Every structure is written in C-alpha cells, then in structure tokens.
Structure 1
Amino acid sequence: MIISIYFICVFSLLINKVSLQVTGDIGGSVLLPCSSTEPDLKPQDINVHWRHNGSKIVYDIVKAHYSLELQDQQYKNRVESFPDQYLKGNVSIKLNNLQHTDAGTYSCIITPSSDLHTVQVIINESSSGNKTNDQENEGKDSEADRKPLIWVYIVVAALLTVFINQLIY
C-alpha cells in the first residue's frame, strides 16, 4: 500500500514538472539547460541522456565523457556540451544550425539521480525560403512534436518504486 501511494506521488510530481521553453531561428543555435539537483554526485558517477520527442538520441554523457556512438544522424556535428561545467552539475547542451525538424520536446535524464528536465524548442518561421514547403513540413513535424513524454515519466516512476521497494524489504 505504501509503495503504491509513493508511486502515485512520484508520478504526479514528474508530470507536473515545469518544462522550460526556448526559441531559435533556422540556422541559429539554442542552449538546452540541464543540471543535476543531487549535490553529492561526482561527474564520473553520472550518465546523462538527451532525447528529442522521447526517442531520438541527441547526446549522451557517460561517466563525464560524451558518447556519440548511438547519436541520431540528424544531430551529428551540431551538438556541443560544456565538459568544464560537469563538476558544477551543469550538463546543458547547445544545438547549432537549427532546422525545422529540431522543434519539439527535449528531455535530459540524469542517472542515477533520476533527475528529469524537459525543454520545449520552438523554431521561428524563416522569412526567406519557400512558404509552401514550410507549411507542408510544419504540419508533419508538429504532429510528431505534440506526442507527450508520458512513457518517460512512467518508466522513471517505476524505477524509483522498485528502488524504494528494495530499500524497504
């Protein structure tokens, strides 16, 4: 009974977590902020997973080193992090050369602390370029971008529940 109450509390806290919103221009850059709230974590003990719309691998930081092995091709050579900031718990990234397809929700998952941060990226419409193509692509991209990240919240809450369950028993 205690576990299920805990699960509901954690789940509702995660769902109600405020998402930050940043805006950028086509060809420009945006900073996606993320930092650990755990004061005792050492950079070499944490893993950071940046995801776009819940599934696309944007950037991974594994034991204080970035890992590009599984990075989605869409983000190759367009993402920077700030290794000198890892000691301060800052695992923000900068996304360069923005494209229409970059619009959407980015999640930063820090383990083992279970920190979850989300950033909504909005791309300003280009004043140059083909308006017809922009409108066609906008409709297609925005449909995918509206998908909620509810499964991420459920997985994190379930992992926390299992962890607490192990501590209790």
Structure 2
Amino acid sequence: MFKSVLLICFFILVLNEASVPKTVQVFIGDSVVLPCHSPRQLTLFTAYWRYEDSKNVYDIQDGIGLTKEQDPVYKSRTESFPAEYSKGNFSLKLRKLQNIDAGSFCCFLPEFNSLQICTVLQVKEKPRGIQEKPGSHRGVESKAERIVSLLNPLFAGTILLWLCEW
C-alpha cells in the first residue's frame, strides 16, 4: 500500500511538471533549446514537435529526425540530438529566431498517450548594447520560473520523506 501511494505521488509530480508550459524570453536572431524529456525510459524513440498545435516543426520517428513534412518556415533552423533519444531527451534547438516564432511549441510523446510538453516563446528585439556571449542562446527564464524549478525537487523530497515516516 505504502509503495503504491509513493508511486502515485511521484507520477503526479512528474506529470504536473511536464504539463505546465514554461515561458521563455528570447531575442530575435538568437537560438533556443526547447526542452522535451520523457518521464521514464522509452522503448520507442518517437516525438512530434508542433507550433500552436498546427505547424509541423520537427518529427522524430523510430529514432530518426524527419523534416520531409516540416513547415517551410522552420527549414534549416531546427536541430535535434539523436545521441540523447535513448535517454528520453527529445529537445529541439531552434535557430535564427524571428517575431513569427512567438507562441507555443509542444513536444508530443505518443508512447505516453500523447503527453505534451510545451514551451511558450516570447520573442523580443535585442536591446542596444547587449553583447552576445558564447553559449548564451538558450533563452532567459523569469525569476519566478527559476524559483519554481528549484522548489519542485524540494517539494517532492519533502513529500517523499513525509510518506516514508508515515
């Protein structure tokens, strides 16, 4: 019984984290890595990236990145990480950001009943005087998002400790 309760709590935390869209502020011309991680190890390496639930951004089927049916606006601007698929990482890099990229990008994982992991991009003009630093093309999280992402593991650990004592 105890292990069942523990397992249910764990999955609620994992699914809650995966289903809440994150908002990322990025600058025109920069690149961003859109995160997509499965909650557990996969047997099939398949994920579908969509913009606003309509435009095909990128498909990964059976461990192969496909751009055949990709919307033309994303041609030559996407990159995935095939060496990471076996770890459940289907993150996507989007380069040369434009105003039209503002909106919701979702990764659908069919092996998890089409679990979707979404990131909302806010694309802004780069303020004058900002110098680019190598490796700084990942977007900027808000302070609140950083705090929440740090508190989630603490919250999960507290619940697990409480359940263990119970």
Same fold (TM over 0.5): yes
Q: Structure 2 unaligned segments of length 5 or more: list them.
A: 1-14, 129-166
CA contact (8 A) 1:22 1:30 kept: no
- The equivalences for 1:1-169 within 5 A come to 17-39=19-41, 41-42=42-43, 45-114=44-113, 115-127=115-127
How big is the shift at 1:126?
A: 4.2
Tell me, in whole angstroms, the C-alpha distance in 1 between the residues paired with 2:47 and 2:112: 10
Tell me, in whole angstroms, the C-alpha distance in 2 between the residues paired with 1:51 and 1:89: 18
Opposite residue 50 of structure 1, the aligned amino acid is W
CA contact (8 A) 2:46 2:61 kept: yes
CA contact (8 A) 2:24 2:119 kept: yes
How big is the shift at 1:111?
A: 1.1
How big is the shift at 1:89?
A: 0.4
Q: TM-score, normalised by structure 2?
A: 0.63
Aligned length: 113
Q: TM-score, normalised by structure 1?
A: 0.62
How big is the shift at 1:83?
A: 0.7
Tell me, in whole angstroms, the C-alpha distance in 2 between the residues paired with 1:71 and 1:30: 18
Opposite residue 32 of structure 1, the aligned amino acid is L
How big is the shift at 1:18?
A: 1.1
Q: Structure 1 unaligned segments of length 5 or more: list them.
A: 1-12, 129-169
**Cross-structure match for 1:157:** none
Q: Which consecutive segments of 4 or more residues in structure 1 shift more than 4 A? A: none
CA RMSD of aligned residues (A): 2.1
Deviation string for 1:39-81 (max 9, x for gaps)? 2x22xx2321100011000000000000111000000000010
How big is the shift at 1:112?
A: 1.9
**Cross-structure match for 1:9:** none
Tell me, in whole angstroms, the C-alpha distance in 2 between the residues paired with 1:87 and 1:54: 25
